Amino acid sequence: MTSAIDLRSDTVTLPSPEMRDAMYQAELGDDVFGEDPTVTALQELAAQRTGQEAALFVTSGTQGNLVAALTHTRRGDEVICGDQCHVLLYEVAGCSALGGLQLRPVPSHRGELDLAAIRATIRGENVHYPRTGLVTIENTHNRHSGAIVDVDSMRALVSLSHGAGVPVHVDGARIFNAAVARGVSVAALMAGADSITFCLSKGLGCPVGSVLCGSRDFIALARKYRKMLGAGMRQVGVLAAAGLYALNHMIDRLAEDHENARRLALGIAGIPGLFVDPEAIDTNIVIFGVQGGTPAAERFRADVANAGVKTGPPGADGRIRVVTHYGIDSGHTDRALAVFARCAPLAPVR
């Protein structure tokens, strides 16, 4: 009996022995007093890697995006975002509930926001209108199968938004996947955007944490909002140490995850009854269709789980998500593909 192959998410990664050792050895202090040297070191390195002046260690990507929205906006503002984005779909309406903000989705194509729609959506001055307070964009894009928003596209978005006096926040939960896949720096991918959240707890293999990066003034105010949300943390260098280790040692290996995702996509495309375009897979997320729609996808997911392969639950569109990550190698992907072929709706009856 071999252990299950868990392709549900890159959040299931466990810290490596070296990362645990870095956590054990971390120098600590009270970070609410600004006295935890390990947190300070993580924030400095994160700022440097993203080309920003400053950074703030936060508990999660959701908290980073919320703190960013609170910091950029005022109550009653509108936040423009993509119609498939994480902030809109999966963050418990925090912007609305806690920030008094209205989310205004525009169409997105492989993660890129429709610029004409944004132009038409940014508000002018009128007594009836809320103020447009922020544009937020996701890179890589989860629901668009890990698609990368490239530098040129980012530059056009930032130029349009800044032209209207509106700041841009990047939900870069997996921005390092984009940087590694394209061979460019995260700083270049920012293309002048005002802030970014990235996750340490996904492909980078940390147990907890995200980092919000931006200008010095922005981060000073963000620190107050983080405190307001209850996340002023004390000897949290024990967790920041994992993040520091990840930024130094876990980034380049993301290329392996991309290779394995491509291997999965090519395999899935060759299985009758499953559908994916391998050319559309940029990074570590593969979202594929199952012939017969949602009921068939539910059955397929249960069957492959019984055979030891865990996949994400089908979305509203009946498609299934698999994600490659630290701990999954090419042997695992080949075993998963063999199971998929056996459980696919059109598998030959034996």
Q: Is 77 in the site for ligand PLP (CB under 6 A)?
A: no
Q: Is 171 in the site for ligand PLP (CB under 6 A)?
A: yes
Give how far the C-alpha of residue 155 lies from the chain's centroid of Cα atoms, to the nearest Å.
20
Q: Is 153 in the site for ligand PLP (CB under 6 A)?
A: no
CB atoms within 10 A of CB 335: 15
Question: Under rule CB under 6 A, which residues in 193-222 are in contact with ligand PLP?
Answer: 199, 201, 210
Binding mask 130-149 for ligand PLP (x = CB under 6 A): --------x---x-------
How far apart CA 213 and CA 142 sit, in angstroms, is: 20
In angstroms, what is the minimal distance from the CB of 63 to ligand PLP?
Answer: 7
Please identify, among the stretches 57-65, 219-227, 272-280, 308-316, the one whose residues bind ligand PLP according to the rule CB under 6 A. Answer: 57-65
How far apart CA 15 and CA 324 sit, in angstroms, is: 16
**Residue 63 vs residues 198, 199, 204, 238: alpha-carbon distances, Å:** 11, 11, 18, 19
Q: Is 84 in the site for ligand PLP (CB under 6 A)?
A: no
Compare residues 122 and 282 and give the one whose CB is closer to ligand PLP.
282
Nearest to 206 by CA among 61, 35, 55, 45: 61
Among 13, 38, 62, 260, binds ligand PLP (CB under 6 A): 62
Q: Which two tokens stand for residue 189?
A: 């991918």
Q: Which two tokens stand for residue 190?
A: 């920012």
Enclosing H/E stretch for 197: strand 195-199
Which amino acid type is present at position 157?
A: L
Compare residues 171 and 257 and give the one whose CB is closer to ligand PLP.
171
**Residue 199 vs residues 26, 339, 343: alpha-carbon distances, Å:** 20, 31, 33
Q: Is 52 in contact with 215 (CB distance < 8 Å)?
A: yes
Compare residues 93 and 116 and give the one whose CB is closer to ligand PLP.
93
In angstroms, what is the minimal distance from the CB of 114 to ligand PLP?
Answer: 19
**Residue 96 vs residues 73, 76, 103, 183, 345: alpha-carbon distances, Å:** 12, 9, 7, 37, 41
Please identify, among the stretches 60-68, 180-188, 259-267, 334-342, the one whose residues bind ligand PLP according to the rule CB under 6 A. Answer: 60-68
- Residue nearest ligand PLP, CB atom distance: 61
Compare residues 92 and 220 and give the one whose CB is closer to ligand PLP.
92
Among 13, 43, 52, 60, binds ligand PLP (CB under 6 A): 60
Q: Is 43 in the site for ligand PLP (CB under 6 A)?
A: no
Q: Is 236 in contact with 43 (CB distance < 8 Å)?
A: no
Compare residues 58 and 122 and give the one whose CB is closer to ligand PLP.
58
The residues binding ligand PLP (CB under 6 A) are 60-62, 86, 138, 142, 171, 173, 199, 201, 210
